[in-house]
Structure 1
Amino acid sequence: MTNATITTPAEREIRIERVFDAPIARVWRAFTDPELVAQWWGRGNKLEIVRMEVERGGHWRFVEHGPEGDHGFEGRYREVTPMERVVQTFEWDGMPGHVAVETAEFTDLGDGRTKVTSTSLFHTAEERDGMLNSGMEIGLNESYAALDELLARLP
């Protein structure tokens, strides 16, 4: 398993880079098809896709049902450029009002692999640091491992 590379390029940012052993069309589909997202996003926990309108202005809401309880996440899509980029807001029910802006960029490496670069911009450095200290790295790598398994099964 390859872990994601997590850096803090600016005071209010978290940058995540990860290469997936799958072509860009398959990776894009896994990030934008609700049936597929439900299979990897929740770290192996049951994930309910309440809403996922992958278009500018569209609303998304996921509820993860885990052993420690339910956790809701939601936001709005600000930009969707197929096979290239998604910009969305991200808010966790546990910290209402603390909204990050996430940008995911998809790069075809030309050898059947795809690099996904995600940048999260927080309102304050304290909010960014809170996310970094929340255990997000463990959850992210668990979700990406589940995504690796899904990508290997998809045609």
Structure 2
Amino acid sequence: MRKELVINAPRATVFRTLIEPELVNQWCGSKNAVIDARPGGQYVFGWSYEIDGRAVSGGPTRIIEYVENERLTLDWPDWRGDTSVQGQTITFLLADEGDAATRLTFVHTGFQRTADISDYPFGWVWFLSQVQALSEKLTEA
């Protein structure tokens, strides 16, 4: 799955929106994101919910690739908590778009279930719109 959007904010601002816990909380709907901004570092949204009577901690757990202001790749464990489903990643790629904007390319790979391919795009469109709105708001401030 691949989504692209242009954000009217510099790359450094957009990247900051993706790695500062207090900003991540604002776009991912959490209150306790934990981020150790380095390759191999922890990256946790802090989502907790129940699936079929089982507690699940959703969202990413670690940073796979980290290139400041350019690339952030995170693991993406199965949202249902199924540990047999592995290998998904999400990547945020940032590039200059004109003088003061950023092209954000988002890629979610490693799907094993057809249902995931159809479910995720709708959620990611909303989350990416929140990244865009927050980044643009920070630029205006």
What amino acid maps onto 2:136 in structure 1?
A: A
**Cα distance between partner residues in 2 of 1:138 and 1:71:** 21
**TM-score normalised over the length of structure 2:** 0.78
Seq. identity, %? 24
Which secondary structure does the structure 2 equivalent of 1:88 belong to?
A: strand
Q: Which runs of 5+ in 1 are unaligned?
A: 1-13
Distance 1:123 1:80, change over 3 A: same
1:109-120 → structure 2 map (5 Å cutoff): 109-120=97-108
**TM-score normalised over the length of structure 1:** 0.72
Q: Which runs of 5+ in 2 are unaligned?
A: 50-55
Q: How many residues align?
A: 133
Which secondary structure does the structure 2 equivalent of 1:105 belong to?
A: strand
Q: Please give the root-mean-square deviation of Cα atoms over the aligned residues, in Å.
A: 2.6
Post-superposition CA distance 1:30-55 (Å, at most 9, x none)? 1111111111123xxxx133421121
Select which of 98, 117, 120 maps to 1:132: 117
What amino acid maps onto 2:105 in structure 1?
A: T
Q: Does the CA contact (< 8 Å) of 1:18 and 1:116 recur in 2?
A: yes
Structure with more of its chain in helix, by fraction? 2
Distance 1:83 1:76, change over 3 A: same
**Cα distance between partner residues in 2 of 1:87 and 1:148:** 18
